[in-house]
Amino acid sequence: EQVPLEMHKVRIVQKLNLPPVEHRLKAITEAGNNTFLLQNKDVFMDMLTDSGVNAMSDQQQAAMLIADDSYAGSATYTRLESKLREIFGMAYFLPAHQGRACENILSQVLVSPGSIVPMNYHFTTTKAHITLNGGVIEELVSDAGLEVVSVHPFKGNMDIARLSAVIEEHGSNKIAFVRMEAGTNLIGGQPFSLENLTNVRRVCDKHDVLLVLDASLLADNLHFIKNREESCKDLSIREITRKMADLCDIIYFSARKLGCARGGGICIRTEELYRRMRGLVPLYEGFLTYGGMSVREMEALTVGLDETMDEDVINQGPQFIGFMVDELQKRGVPVITPAGGLGCHLNVMQFLEHVPQAQYPAGALASALYIASGIRGMERGTLSEQRDPDGNEVLANMELVRLALPRRVFTLSQVKYAIDRISWLHENRHLIGGLVFTEEPEILRFFYGRLKPV
């Protein structure tokens, strides 16, 4: 049997609760069937996200103790800036409090009414910021990206012919930038290949448009390039990273996923772009040498970025996810394949065939899974979309329940518990019905909207 092998040992633990089923039913009802609104004390395995909840290493903890606390010019900041320069080879860096803050800055500076932003696939906060600034996104993920069951190793690849067509149709001056998302979140943590990024760059060069990389899920994407892309198998993670970075004009990231538990930032190649964005950092984030991060976070991030260059570190998430996906498949549970990064994704269109998309089947399954197991997952489907300007429901391409595997947090026994409960729920799926909003916020409604059974 192929089982994941942990290349670390556990030295600090946190006690968990597994409340009884009656309690869970009460808790999810009070939370409006929205797993975002559950209290962590009521949750057994928190698989909502990998954001800000990955395990930290002893080296990161140690570095946090020697952080240099000063408002301006701290040595901690200098260490972070030079680590980023060493890894990505870009001259300039702007710190921010998290990923969406980077998206705010990028969108305010580069997007204007009528702008088009081609991308492999959107992320919720990215799309919200681009739209807020009057831009329109064009999702150009390759056809394989939207095939739920597939053996394609790089489902996050951009369709190069469509990218050329979109730029030619609108003209390069309308294109704010092209965005590639590593470990493409909303289609199941799926990677793109280095070859595909190289081809995207070629198109950008031809039309003189900027290429921006969202590197929040870079660690997973690096692991998959190393393990799935023949031409990269003899390269080190560091070498692959540099090859990717060399193709981009801007790299931004959420450090809640990449390298740390908080923070983010934008790495920029040219002084001109850096100067255009710089003014927004003190306005929204904090002074230029912290950008809303604490010095402790910046120290942990510096070490975490270095650790991301180690295959034995970054292979842990994908190995556990691969195990979970394989085991669920063996039991006939519909999941996204091939296994990606970030988490295991249940394919709800098939799991709950009997629930129409307008009744938020993925939200319903996330709620039911909590009742059946105490596991908190996240809806990633129609509920996570925004209504169109006329107020019509936008049906998602995929209805998913994401069960994130925060890196190095859960043990194999816990993952086996999750597999067992999900299989049970699948066998009893006829018990689950749809949901309807009782309270629907206008922006990012999935975060704090409330629903009830239809």
Give the footprint of ligand F0G on this chain (CB under 6 A). 49, 51, 98-100, 123, 125, 181, 185, 214, 216-217, 254, 256, 264
> Out of 124, 174, 310, 421, which one is annotated catalytic?
124
Minimum distance, C-beta of residue 2 to ligand F0G, in the bound complex (Å): 27
The CA distance from 306 to 312, in Å, is 12
Tokens of 173: 């001056």
Q: Where are the beta strands (DSSP E) in 249-340?
A: 250-254, 264-268
The C-alpha torsion from 291 through 296 and 299 to 301, rounded to 10°, is -70
> Out of 214, 220, 249, 306, which one is annotated catalytic?
214
> Out of 11, 15, 41, 71, which one is annotated catalytic?
71
> Out of 257, 278, 429, 445, which one is annotated catalytic?
257
Minimum distance, C-beta of residue 389 to ligand F0G, in the bound complex (Å): 24
* Residue nearer to ligand F0G on the CB measure, 43 or 432: 43
> Out of 88, 224, 417, 446, which one is annotated catalytic?
446
Q: How many residues does the chain have?
A: 454
Burial 364-389 (b: 16+ CB within 10 A, else e): bbbbbbbbbbbbbbbbbbbbbbbeee
* Residue nearer to ligand F0G on the CB measure, 32 or 341: 341
* Residue nearer to ligand F0G on the CB measure, 79 or 345: 345
* Residue nearer to ligand F0G on the CB measure, 264 or 338: 264
Minimum distance, C-beta of residue 136 to ligand F0G, in the bound complex (Å): 19
* Residue nearer to ligand F0G on the CB measure, 189 or 434: 189
Query: What residue is closest to ligand F0G based on CB?
Result: 99
* Residue nearer to ligand F0G on the CB measure, 100 or 445: 100
User: Cβ distance 120 to 141 under 8 Å?
Assistant: yes
Q: Ramachandran region of residue 272, left (φ > 0), alpha (ψ -120 to 50) or beta?
A: alpha
Using alpha carbons only, what angle is made at residue 446 by residues 445 and 450, rounded to the nearest 5 degrees?
85
Q: Is the dihedral of CA 95, 100, 104, 106 positive or negative?
A: positive
Tokens of 84: 């980023």
Q: Quick check: is 380 catalytic?
A: yes
Minimum distance, C-beta of residue 292 to ligand F0G, in the bound complex (Å): 11
> Out of 123, 177, 253, 360, which one is annotated catalytic?
123
Greatest CA separation for the chain: 61
Burial 199-229 (b: 16+ CB within 10 A, else e): bbbebbeebebbbbbbbbbbbbbbbbbbeeb
Q: Ramachandran region of residue 385, left (φ > 0), alpha (ψ -120 to 50) or beta?
A: beta
> Out of 269, 380, 402, 407, which one is annotated catalytic?
380
Minimum distance, C-beta of residue 397 to ligand F0G, in the bound complex (Å): 16
* Residue nearer to ligand F0G on the CB measure, 125 or 270: 125
Q: Quick check: is 78 catalytic?
A: no
Minimum distance, C-beta of residue 26 to ligand F0G, in the bound complex (Å): 26
Q: Quick check: is 124 catalytic?
A: yes
Q: Quick check: is 390 catalytic?
A: no
Minimum distance, C-beta of residue 3 to ligand F0G, in the bound complex (Å): 26
Q: Quick check: is 306 catalytic?
A: no
HSE-up (13 A, CA, CB side) for residue 361: 21
Q: Quick check: is 100 catalytic?
A: no
DSSP SS3 for 404: strand
User: Cβ distance 412 to 10 under 8 Å?
Assistant: no
Q: Quick check: is 71 catalytic?
A: yes
The CA distance from 39 to 374, in Å, is 11
Active site residues: 71, 123-124, 214, 257, 380, 446
